[in-house]
Chains A and B, each alone.
Chain A
Amino acid sequence: MAVAALEQEILSLRKHRQLYSLIGLLLVVAVLVSGYSKANSMNSGGFLQGLSKFFDYPGEIVAEAIDAGPAFFGQILHFLPAMMETLNIALVATLLGGAGAVVLAMASTRNVDSWGPLIPVVRRIMDVMRAFPELIIALFLIFVLGSSPVPAMIAVAFHTAGALGKLFSEVNDNIDRKPIEGLSACGANWLQRIRFAVLPQVAPNYLSYFLLRLEINVRASAILGFVGAGGIGQELRRTIGWGKGAGDETAAIFVLLFITIMIIDQLSSWLRGRLVGSSRAH
């Protein structure tokens, strides 16, 4: 009897579950279908007309790149300094943001004996820092400081501090407290405990997240260049603005950007694999 009741219950639970899954699935499909039809009508060019034109632009710039012949490789080299500038923006922003994130993380984790009342405050601050879209800070700073890489750098660093701070404090949550207790038994103060008990444990994970962020920030700085923050993005905006005739330069920038992003991706995933073991690298 009891078994039959149990079976009945399981069956009804399963039915509920299936119903929920079905509703969820239908919801997703409905959002997709209605969203795309709405998006299609709101777009200035429709999907179907656009589809035929989709390869026109890539085709055009590829053709111009082929026309340029061997000079095309010269153009890639020509844009290398701009690419370096973008990389510099990303690296400085990640370094500064990462440094800020370490401070924020150490101030917001109970596990490393942060000062109690500060923890929720710092966590909320990090939430707000993460939520600020880079674009807004960059545009505001470009307005005040003028067109230069620095606004992009500050904008990316601000966001990075919040995003990495959260990840770092999650790492802090999972460390072993024994070294901390050992050090406090020796009379070490808080900074000494952080330096000798916490940092050695978290360093590999911190570095791994740092590299992941660097990867994301290279992309972000390239995009911010397009709204006036210097680097490869600004060059791209210039060549695209020229329209026809500058297609080979645009293609050169695309190729350079693609190669750089690939190299950084591969390098950072290889390094992360070495740091924390491939299974935890992502």
Chain B
Amino acid sequence: MTTDTLEPTVTLNTVWPKIRRRAWLTVLVPCTVLLYLAYTWFAFDITGLLAKARPDRAAILATDSVAYKVQVEKNFRSDTFEVAIEGERTATYDNTDLPDWIDLSGDNAVVDLGEGYEIEIDGKTALFTIPNFGVIRGTATETGVETKLPEGPVPDWVKVDPRKLEVRPTIDRRLQITKTKIEVHNYFAGWENFWFPFRSPLYGMSFSELYALALNADRIDPDYSNLWFVVEEFLSNPDWQHGAVLTALFETIMMAVLGTLTAALFGLPLAFLAARNFTPSLVLRFGTRRLFDFLRGIDMLIWSLIFIRAFGLGPLTGALAIAFTDTGSLGKLFSEALENIDNRQVEGVRATGANQLQRYRFGVIPQILPVFVSQVLYYLESNTRSATVIGALGAGGIGLLLVETMKTSRDWENTSYIIILTIVVVILMDQMSSWLRRKLIEGR
């Protein structure tokens, strides 16, 4: 250790340029960032985007995902009167057993929408009584719709058209008349038919009833035990497809777990080949490092597209795509950890007469084990998120299911159900991996 007796003298001339440079930086850096953001404002055409945005879609999604409608439909063409949940054929009420807010008498009906809102259907005419407004009268004719509104300006929730009348005074009450039918929508909070399908014998049962039923010896279906019947009815619910959703979630988790474990298993031995202190051969080291770069550089996107072509849809495809990319990433991280180990421990083990394998096992592995475990767990949790994206590219799992439900854009409650499940799974994986990390590395 040498001591410098000549302290470097600090003069104004050495300090000023530094201060000036720093001052310039504090001005220039924020200015550049702002300029760049301004440029991207135009590059992304945000003004045009805001003009084209459809906030009404967000509102539909929000209402539809927390509410469902019961549809009352009078069809003149087939001369039928139908009350159905979400207008689904599979969830149509029997006309002798209607909900009590509908009063059916012959061909005519009175629908009580609550809070003073009431619709009276009389032949081809519907009378919509709206509190503090008046009565809207719409009649279906051979050519279109005749509308009679109370005096005064037309509010914006009434859409009058010669061919169609639409009245929606509140977001949860709606009347539509065309020349062929009168439709009334009454919205209710919640998810319809979530547990069991409408036609199921279990529809509308409470948990305690189900519990009692499951333990009951009298079988509903002679082929299955009651417990199995309940589970089966739940999983095969046609509206919600719990079975399919759970399978898809399982596939996604499988992709993440298998992919990460495989990457770790292949990354570790390869990392030894890429570490300076373990592989003296320059060619081998260089080759392995470039292999890591190649695997990482190709990226999960391209790997999954290639694997989808070769192996088709499914968890195997996703697992392999994750495994290939992360062998590169984990291999690089492990080789850096290997290069930073303390050589004295290895020498200590060597001094006891250990052979090569024993030196690795007792001198090296214990040193990199914390890095190994913590990185693998980090990757596991981030891969759970990646697996949903890979799924959306076409590998299957919850990602694909989500994209498909969104594309049909009909039942938004299904979309929110999938979104909620996905987030729950990701958070659970996150919690589990940090718990494991704490347990394994910091010790209990």
- The stretch from B8-16, B54-62, B191-199 touching chain A is B54-62
Size bin of chain A's contact surface:
35 or more
> What DSSP secondary structure best describes chain B's contact surface?
helix
A222 to B340, CA, bound (A): 33
Contacts of A38 in B (CB 8 A): 254, 315
Instruction: Check if A39 sits within 8 Å of B333, measured CB to CB.
Output: no
Produce 1/0 per residue, A95-137, CB < 8 A to B: 1000000000000000000000000000000011011111110
Q: Which of A28, A50, A227 contacts B403 (CB 8 A)?
A: A227
Q: Could you give, for residues 59-83 of chain B, a 1 whenever the CB lies within 8 Å of some chain A CB and a 0 otherwise?
A: 0010000000000000000000000
Which A residues, 232 to 282, have Cβ-Cβ distances below 8 Å to chain B?
233, 236, 240, 254, 257-258, 261-262, 265, 279, 282
Indicate whether A88 sits within 8 Å of B310 (C-beta atoms), given known contacts A42-B251, A132-B423: no
CB of A136 within 8 A of CB of B422, answer yes
Is the beta-carbon distance between B54 and A39 smaller than 8 angstroms? Answer: no
Q: Which of A51, A95, A139 neighbours the largest number of chain B CB atoms within 10 Å of its CB?
A: A139
Q: Is the interface of A mostly helix, strand, loop or mixed?
A: helix
CA distance A56 to B49 in the complex (A): 41
Question: Is B19 an interface position by the 8 A CB rule?
Answer: no
B340 CB, min distance to chain A CBs, angstroms: 6
Is A146 on the interface with B (CB-CB < 8 A)?
yes
Is there contact, CB below 8 Å, between A257 and B52? Answer: no
Within the complex, which residue of A50, A223, A236, A282 is in contact with B336, where a contact is CB–CB below 8 Å?
A282
Nearest opposing residue in chain B for A51, CB measure: B310
Judge whether A182 is part of the interface by a CB distance below 8 angstroms: no
Contact of A143 among B305, B389, B406 (CB under 8 A): B406
Contact check, B301 vs A223: say whether CB atoms are below 8 A apart.
yes
Q: How far is the CA of A47 from the CA of B311 in the complex (A)?
A: 6
- In the complex, the answer to whether A146 meets B430 with C-beta atoms within 8 Å is no
Instruction: Tell me, in angstroms, the Cα distance from A113 to B293 when the chains sit together.
Output: 42
Q: Please, could you name 14 A-B residue pairs with CB atoms under 8 Å apart, sorted by A?
A: A43-B313, A44-B312, A44-B314, A50-B307, A131-B430, A134-B389, A135-B399, A136-B423, A145-B52, A150-B46, A222-B299, A224-B389, A254-B302, A282-B333
The residues of B with any CB-CB pair to A shorter than 8 Å are: 33, 36-37, 40, 43-46, 49, 52-55, 57-58, 61, 251, 254-255, 257-258, 261-262, 265, 293, 296-302, 305-307, 309-317, 319, 333, 336, 340, 385, 388-389, 392-393, 399, 402-403, 406, 409, 419, 422-423, 426-427, 430
